[in-house]
């Protein structure tokens, strides 16, 4: 009989392989356990994930200033069409 660690490894592998899918409650619990923002688990690349972690560590006032700065940066760039994933 295998222990729970062996079974857990199989379950994690099934999530990584896309065989199983976690619901939002499970994802939220995992984010809390890892002490990361929920959005971190859904980041599309490492830069985005790193930015989400750093942003979450800022105080509210700092986040507001940073967001305003980023919006100005984006506004200064030529517009590019963004594909919507469905």
In the three-class reduction of DSSP (H, G, I as helix; E, B as strand; rest coil), residue 23 is classed as: coil
pLDDT of residue 62: 98
pLDDT of residue 1: 38
pLDDT of residue 15: 65
Identify whether residues 30 and 4 lie together within a single domain.
Answer: yes
pLDDT of residue 55: 96
- pTM score > 0.75 for this model? no
> What is the domain count for the chain?
2
For residues 20 and 11, the answer to whether their CB atoms sit within 8 Å is: yes
Domain carrying residue 61? 44-86
Identify whether residues 58 and 81 lie together within a single domain.
Answer: yes
Structure tokens at 15: 């999530």
Identify whether residues 49 and 24 lie together within a single domain.
Answer: no
Identify whether residues 24 and 55 lie together within a single domain.
Answer: no
**pLDDT one digit per residue (tens) for the chain, 86 residues:** 344 455 666 666 666 677 667 789 988 999 999 999 999 999 999 999 999 999 999 999 999 999 999 999 999 888 767 677 66
């Amino acid at each position: 009989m295998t222990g729970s660690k062996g079974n857990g490894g199989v379950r994690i592998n099934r999530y990584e392989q896309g065989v199983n899918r976690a619901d939002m409650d499970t994802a939220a619990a995992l984010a809390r356990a890892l002490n990361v923002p929920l959005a971190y688990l859904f980041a599309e690349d490492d830069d985005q994930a790193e930015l989400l972690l750093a942003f979450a560590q800022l105080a509210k006032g700092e986040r507001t200033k940073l967001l305003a700065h980023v919006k100005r940066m984006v506004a200064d760039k030529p517009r590019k069409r963004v594909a919507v994933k469905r």
